[in-house]
A and B are shown apart, each in its own frame.
Chain A
Amino acid sequence: MSEANASATRITPGNALRPEDIALEVRTGLAKPSEDTAEYALRLGDDALILAQRLGHWISRAPELEEDIALGNIALDQLGHARSLLSYAGGAMVNDDGSAKSEDDLAYFRREHEFRSVQLFEQPNGDFAATIARQFVVSYYQFLLYSRLTESKDATLAAIAAKAVKEVDYHRDHAAQWVLRLAGGTEESRKRMIHGFRIMWPYVEELFRDDDLTGRLAEAGIAVAPSSLKEDFDRLTGEVLTEAGLEVPDVPAAPGGGRQGRHSEHLGYILAEMQVLAREHPGASW
């Protein structure tokens, strides 16, 4: 079977899609995103990559072995989504030698202002409650986003979303269970859960902001307009918060700007650590 034939059957919604399959499609020219679509994939891919980097820190430090495994699993899922999305995005971006940018070109050789993740994803882990607060928001957002994206007219995005949504559904359940436990556990855990939501909530609004790019792509049936997810997000997260006896924090929204490359102070440190080895050996393969 030729490389092209091998991959032609892979990218269908519901298939066990691997990042390598997407990369192969991009290399063989079977998958070719438009510049807009690539930018959109880059946004979602960067969100997932930065979150994976954050969550990976918990492995060997979690409150219980089961959580080392659970948070590690969520980090791995996010990393998988990031790899697929970045591989696809790279199909419309070229290196100096004319080759398409790979997932690693994009992850390791861009600087802060070239990352397109929103600021929520780069927020520090804090304590376990802060991590759960961030994860709760992210999981509901991603679940709604990927659910809708399965209907994208872009076959590759639809296929990535079809795989991701099943995984993110578990992340959502995991986070919601912990919100209930921490809010309803001890006085200490409730206080920490409330604090966790207070420090993460300023970055929630940015998730649902439309711009010209999402406008064009949503119109074409390729992307989901972020604002269109807000109502369901409020309703679904509201149900859990109500059950937990919590309220949506009354805190002002941060200006954000991650989609345009404006980040918090945190991203520089994340990238410094993530990229250091790859940059010490440019051109090396691992």
Chain B
Amino acid sequence: MAAQNLQSVPVELTAGTSETAEADGQANFDRVIAEDSRIEPKDWMPPAYRKTLLRQISQHAHSEIIGMQPEANWISRAPSLKRKAILMAKVQDEAGHGLYLYSAAETLGQNRDEMTDALIAGKARYSSIFNYPALTWADMGAIGWLVDGAAICNQVPLCRASYGPYGRAMVRICKEESFHQRQGFEILLELSNGTPAQKQMAQDAVNRWYAPALMMFGPPDDDSPNSKQSMAWNIKRFSNDELRSRFVGMMVEQVRVLGLTLPDDQIRFNEDTKKWEHGPLDWDEFHEVLAGRGPCNSQRLERRREAHDDGAWVREAAAAYAAKQLNKQKEYAA
């Protein structure tokens, strides 16, 4: 509820008060980026840098929050108490990641309530992957292994992002994500070594989540207009295709240990480029889901909206109580 006390700072007002200050600020910013050092919240930064980061960090936060839903869907039905406990802890971690990231985004001048409003109004984006349904228990394994695995590939380089609060938040998030990936792998391994029905369940989940996970790295490099500027600002360190290729290489190794297969017969290691290559991805589907026409877009947003609306009276009560307590303290002091 701390977010309610923050005032939203218009981007224009923070961008410098005079031309000299702006020139000094820009010089300092350029030096920090050139030295591969860090920009902190009170430093001057170009408005476009602030805007890019705010968009990226808030989208990342929204992804954590919406991403709780497909897994929360299985908490009540987890097939053993140990798995139930692990899954609860994992979904709880995701709420925690959302909180760190909203806090990091708030340092750029937008408060959590505004970001939440943008999300439930359908104006803000979150990772498309969470618009796919979690249909079986094996999806808990595939989400952990493939989705969190792809997220780690994306996020480890972000620990070195030029914006301090984002980079620091990512350090902790990555540590927890690596546990999440391992638990996903372990779920699949157990299923793969289980009954034929369990093994089939695992293979089916991997088949469904493989392509969407690969598309988490974003469009191919020649169709990713923002990447170049983000890399120049030391926010992004590797291109979408570079990260995707690394991820495929890791999965090829791990799927063998699982005793399962990836639904892609065109995976190969290119000796010339020294990179892993994969079969074609359906980018039309990617853009459809991004445009709101995925299997669960409407359901995910509605669930978030419902929780937000149902909780409005609780947040109002907490704010009213806090205000009354403050008044009491003031009266006591007077």
Contacts and interface: CB of A to CB of B under 8 A. Distances in A.
Given A60-B91, A62-B307, A185-B320, A284 B314 contact: no
A199 to B, nearest CB: 17
Interface string A50-64: 001100110111111
A174 B169 CA distance: 27
B213 interface: no
Contacts of B77: 273-274, 276-277
A65, A86, A108, A184: most-surrounded residue (chain B CB, <10 A): A65
A285 interface: yes
SS class, residues of chain B in contact with chain A: helix
Interface of B: 1, 65, 68-69, 72, 75-85, 88-89, 91-92, 95-96, 98-99, 102, 137, 187, 190-191, 194-195, 197-198, 303, 306-307, 310-321, 324
B315 A69 contact: no
A283 B319 CA distance: 51
A66 interface: yes
A189 B307 CA distance: 16
A64 B311 contact: yes
B316 A76 contact: no
A52 B65 CA distance: 21
A72 B95 contact: yes
Given A83-B82, A185-B319, A283-B195, 7 more contacts: A59-B75, A60-B307, A103-B81, A104-B81, A128-B310, A128-B311, A286-B190
A36 B3 CA distance: 52
Contacts of A182: 314, 317, 321
Contact of B198 (A188, A276, A284): A284
Contacts of A57: 75-76
Contacts of B89: 76
Contacts of B191: 286
Given A186-B316, A192-B313, A68 B95 contact: yes
Contacts of A63: 307, 310-312, 314-315
A72 B79 CA distance: 18
Contact of A79 (B81, B91, B99, B303): B81
A83 B81 contact: yes
B63 to A, nearest CB: 13
Contact of B88 (A62, A79, A186, A283): A79
A73, A181, A286: most-surrounded residue (chain B CB, <10 A): A286
A229 to B, nearest CB: 27
Contact of A181 (B76, B137, B312, B321): B321
Contacts of A93: none
Contact of B321 (A52, A86, A180): A180
A188 B92 contact: no
B83, B96, B99, B313: most-surrounded residue (chain A CB, <10 A): B313
A76 B85 contact: yes
A278 B81 CA distance: 10
A281 interface: yes
B195 A281 contact: yes
Contacts of B315: 63-64
Contacts of B198: 281, 284
A133 interface: no
Nearest to A181: B321
Those 9 A-B pairs whose CB atoms lie nearest each other, nearest first: A63-B311, A185-B317, A189-B317, A63-B314, A72-B92, A60-B72, A60-B68, A185-B321, A68-B95
Contact of B84 (A61, A67, A79, A184): A79
A236 B120 CA distance: 41
A107 interface: yes
B98, B187, B311: most-surrounded residue (chain A CB, <10 A): B311
Contacts of B75: 56-57, 59
Contacts of B78: 277
Interface string A162-187: 00000000000000000011101110
Interface string A263-274: 000000000011
Given A59-B91, A281-B198, A107 B81 contact: yes
Nearest to B197: A281
Nearest to B91: A59
A103 B84 CA distance: 12
A285 B190 contact: yes
A192 B92 CA distance: 27
A59 B92 CA distance: 7
A72 B88 contact: yes
A184 B76 contact: no
Contacts of B79: 108, 277-278, 281, 284, 286
Given A107-B81, A274-B77, A128 B314 contact: yes
A80 interface: yes
A176 B316 CA distance: 18
11 contacts: A57-B75, A59-B72, A60-B303, A63-B312, A66-B99, A108-B79, A184-B321, A185-B316, A186-B317, A277-B77, A281-B198
A127 interface: yes
A118 interface: no
Contacts of B190: 285-286
